[in-house]
């Protein structure tokens, strides 16, 4: 009995959250459903970043690039090549993100620490530079600073998605990807990553090819960021350079830090907090949004170092012990 | 066949020669100690043997394979394990996971991504055996950073032993321990390494003479003496290095 009670307390909140997410379209209006679709997509994107930052100890600062590469690939295929089949466009977008991660990882993992951060930042800006080019054939392909639109909700096996059903598609994709990431973090491979984060020299002495581990993690990060990019471009119908560059990568870091690094699920919380705040605040004072974002960030760093999720878990446990 | 064969090893940092023409070998099952004053080059020798530093010249053979330019993790796969003079653990991870990481380091399962690390029952049983030997099984869920220094020293040794290495390098296993703790650790090493080839260095000469079957002496990068513990204890050159020369009466 005691064990069952403990389990209920442990997983209760997660169950309630899952239930709310599952039934959301039944009672919430469309703008809220749309907000939660975005929260799930960015939650997945930030989780893929957490695998690198929190679990492997790699300060990757160009992570939005993989998100953008998948989104742009799909938009280009649909808009310029007329490839509207979900089963062709979506895998192509994700594969391009993985391919980019394979290449970028080879370059970036030649260095570590702050230099790794700078190289990934530079490579993210490289992708930004490419999609931001407004002239020539490249500009025609990507739409330059105007971005690329005209993507509608996908049609899968004869079923045309709409905002509410696409929310469920996103939700299901999120659950599958999040579970995969969760399994990875507690697998032998995942603990290998954490061992490398804690002490790379000891890991090497024990037989771990630390470079290969980091490289595989980098590619897995690119894969799930690509899946998030795929979900996003179908949801948003539009991708612009702002979704790719340093601003976007910085925002992901913000979500990660506010939610809590190395916690995986904190990423969803960080995404939820930031995007919900943005949703309400930018309705009142769009021009003050960056200021408010800055204040939130400073507040979390000063009072809740380690992120909100560990704080909430502590609070919950203390409440339950009473 | 020699488990370890070192031939004419040279190493220098800038102009400073740290290892000068070091040659020795280790037979299977042998327990060899290396002693020498601070700065003699012991830790450098360990780092060269485990692949963290490449020697300037000379060759290292591990179980018949030339490993001179081989990376550390490949040497580990061949059967080499080492401990560190300064605790080198996965501080924030639980003790159990430290040991599991050490056990799976030479298994292909270290790349598996789906089942939890604790679902590998054989490894879990091995980890329990190792931790029970040093009486730390009850602490398995604590991050190792929470353990005392003496316990962390034991974990340091356990991690090196966990993969059942063919050759075990122990760099100052008793560093920072009290005399009593050191005796206890010596007993643990004695029990755990009965059929392992061990090469270790230590300042604690009691530990050296109780554990080692053979001793080599390193002095300013050169091997100046070798022999059984009894021979080394009476070797005039070693006595000179450790005790200094007698001053003629004024």
* Interface predicted TM-score (ipTM) of this complex, two decimals: 0.91
Task: Find, among B234, B96, B218, the residue nearest to B162 by Cα.
Answer: B96
Average pLDDT on A220-225 reads 97
Residue pLDDT, tens place only, A135-155: 888 888 888 888 898 888 988
Across A185-192, average pLDDT: 96
Distance from CA of A191 to the nearest CA of B (A): 7
Dihedral of the CA atoms B231, B232, B234, B238 (nearest 10)?
150
Measured CA to CA, the distance from residue A193 to residue A184 in angstroms comes to 10
Cα–Cα distance, A195 to A208 (Å, whole number): 9
Mean pLDDT across B78-97: 94
Assign B77 to helix, strand or coil.
Answer: helix
Domain B2-243: CATH superfamily, name plus number = P-loop containing nucleotide triphosphate hydrolases (3.40.50.300)
| DSSP H or E stretch at residue A249 | helix A246-259
Q: Are B86 and B149 in contact (CB under 8 A)?
A: no
DSSP character string of B176-219: T--HHHHHHHHHHHHHHTTTSEEEEE-S-HHHHHHH-SEEEEEE
Q: Which of A188, A189, A198 faces B92 most closely, judged by CB atoms?
A: A198
Sort out which chain A residues have CB atoms less than 8 A from B130's CB and list them: none
Instruction: Average the pLDDT over B187-204 and give the result.
Output: 85
pLDDT at A8: 64
Q: Is B117's Cβ below 8 Å from some Cβ in A?
A: yes
Asked whether the beta carbons of A182 and A43 are under 8 A apart, the reply is no
Spatial contact of B225 and B26, defined as CB atoms under 8 Å apart:
no
* Token pair of A293 as six digits: 């974002």
Residue B44 contacts by C-beta under 8 Å, 6 or more apart in sequence?
B11, B18, B19, B53
Query: What's residue B248's pLDDT?
Result: 64
- Does A201 sit within 8 Å of B101, measured CB to CB? no
Mutate to test the interface with A, among B96, B105, B109, B164 (most CBs of A within 10 A): B105
A71 within 8 A of A233, measured Cβ to Cβ: yes
Length of chain A: 322
Say if residue A1's pLDDT is above 70. Answer: no
pLDDT tens readout for residues B30-86 = 999 999 888 888 889 999 999 999 999 999 999 999 999 999 999 999 999 999 999
CB contacts, 8 Å: A188 with chain B = 100, 104, 109-113, 115, 117, 120
pLDDT digits (tens, 9 = 90+) for A4-56: 556 666 677 888 888 898 888 888 889 999 999 999 999 999 999 999 999 99
At residue A187, the pLDDT reads: 96
Say what the pLDDT of residue A6 is: 61
Considering A255-259, B130-134, B202-206, the range whose residues carry the highest mean pLDDT is A255-259
Residue B73 to residue A192, Cβ atoms within 8 A: no
Joined tokens for residue B173: 């296993």
In this predicted structure, the answer to whether residue A315 has a pLDDT above a threshold of 90 is no
Which positions in chain A touch B112 (Cβ < 8 Å)? 187-189
Q: What is the model's pTM?
A: 0.92
Distance (Å) of CA A223 to CA A93, A108, A186, B14: 10, 17, 19, 45
Return the pLDDT at B249.
60
């Amino acid at each position: 009995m005691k064990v069952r009670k403990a389990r209920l307390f442990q997983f209760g909140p997660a169950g309630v959250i899952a239930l709310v997410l599952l039934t959301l379209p039944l009672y919430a209006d469309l703008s809220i459903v749309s907000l939660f679709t975005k929260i799930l997509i960015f939650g997945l994107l930030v989780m893929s970043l957490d695998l690198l930052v929190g679990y492997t100890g790699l300060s990757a600062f160009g992570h939005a690039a993989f998100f953008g590469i998948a989104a742009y690939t799909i938009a280009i295929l649909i808009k310029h090549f007329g490839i509207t089949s979900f089963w062709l466009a979506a895998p192509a977008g994700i594969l391009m993100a993985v391919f980019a991660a394979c290449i970028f990882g080879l370059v970036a993992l030649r260095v570590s620490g702050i230099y790794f951060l700078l190289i990934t930042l530079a490579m993210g800006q490289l992708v930004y530079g490419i999609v931001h080019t407004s002239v020539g054939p490249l500009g025609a392909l990507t739409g330059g600073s105007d971005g690329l639109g005209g993507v509608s909700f996908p049609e899968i096996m004869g079923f045309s998605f709409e905002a509410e059903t696409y929310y469920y598609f996103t939700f299901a994709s999120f659950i599958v990807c999040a579970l995969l990431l969760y399994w990875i973090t507690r697998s032998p491979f995942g603990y290998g990553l954490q061992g490398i984060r804690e002490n790379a020299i000891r890991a090497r002495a024990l037989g771990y090819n630390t470079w290969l581990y980091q490289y595989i993690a980098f590619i897995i990060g690119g894969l799930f960021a690509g899946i998030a990019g795929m979900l996003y471009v179908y949801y948003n119908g539009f991708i612009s350079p702002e979704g790719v560059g340093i601003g976007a990568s910085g925002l992901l870091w913000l979500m990660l830090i506010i939610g809590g690094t190395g916690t995986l699920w904190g990423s969803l919380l960080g995404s939820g907090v930031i995007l919900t705040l943005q949703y309400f605040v930018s309705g009142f004072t769009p021009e003050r949004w960056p200021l408010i974002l800055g204040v939130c960030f400073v507040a979390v760093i000063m009072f809740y170092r380690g992120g909100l999720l560990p704080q909430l878990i502590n609070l919950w446990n203390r409440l339950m012990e009473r | 066949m020699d488990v370890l064969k070192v031939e004419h090893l040279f190493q220098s940092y800038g102009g400073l020669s740290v290892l000068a023409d070091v040659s020795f070998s280790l037979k299977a099952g042998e327990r060899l100690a290396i002693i020498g004053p601070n700065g003699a080059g012991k830790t450098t020798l360990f780092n060269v043997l485990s692949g963290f530093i490449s020697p300037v010249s000379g060759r290292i053979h591990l179980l018949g394979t030339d490993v001179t330019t081989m990376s550390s993790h490949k040497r580990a796969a061949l059967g080499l394990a080492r401990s560190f003079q300064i605790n080198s653990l996965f501080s924030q991870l639980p003790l159990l996971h430290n040991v599991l990481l050490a056990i799976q380091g030479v298994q292909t399962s270290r790349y598996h991504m789906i089942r939890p690390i604790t679902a590998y029952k054989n490894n879990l049983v091995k980890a329990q055996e190792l931790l029970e030997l040093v009486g730390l099984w009850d602490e398995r869920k604590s991050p190792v950073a929470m353990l005392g220094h003496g316990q962390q020293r034991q974990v340091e040794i356990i991690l090196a032993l966990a993969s059942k290495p063919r050759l075990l390098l122990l760099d100052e296993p008793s560093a920072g321990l009290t005399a009593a703790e050191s005796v206890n650790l010596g007993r643990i090493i004695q029990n755990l390494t009965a059929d392992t080839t061990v090469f270790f260095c230590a300042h604690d000469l009691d530990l050296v003479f109780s554990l080692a079957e053979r001793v080599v002496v390193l002095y300013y990068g050169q091997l100046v003496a070798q022999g059984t513990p009894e021979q080394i204890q009476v070797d005039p050159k070693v006595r000179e290095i450790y005790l200094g020369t007698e001053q003629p009466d004024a």
